Amino acid sequence: MPAIRNIAVGLPVRQGHVLALFGTDRSRGLDFLRAIGGGIEFGERAEEALHREFMEELGVTLQAVELLGVRENIFTYEGVPGHEIAHIYAVTSSALDDVPLDAELHVLDQGSPVRWVPIAEVREGLRPLFPDGATELLLGLDAG
């Protein structure tokens, strides 16, 4: 029986850009962006998972996190249905502040590319940002 996955993801924002993972769903021919983060482990608070995931995925420490919202994400990826409860945070990291806006990073445990993306591209819908609800939270953060 499939399960609902609880995740914690972060949106680092700098100079009108958001740092996001680039992905492709080959079954739908869809290129997309995904907020950085991952699963919350049993006994772990969402904020603790967020710090752990940024260390595991990018090797960086977060200085500040702020919960923007919790969103439900029901989706299909590569033809397989998924269901997540996503805790979405605004995050800051001095290590990420030092990464040039034209750099490409890679997730340490899987190699997926991570890049700074102009928030205007997200606003214009050029590439969807997942999980569901992350775009509205990002745009609210960028406006503030």
For 27-46, the pLDDT digits (tens) are 998 899 999 999 999 999 99
According to the per-residue pLDDT averaged within each range, which of 104-108, 111-115, 122-126, 134-138 is highest?
Answer: 134-138
Peptide bond into 131 cis (omega under 30): yes
Provide the CATH number for the domain around residue 54.
Answer: 3.90.79.10
Domain count, the chain: 1
72: containing domain: 5-143
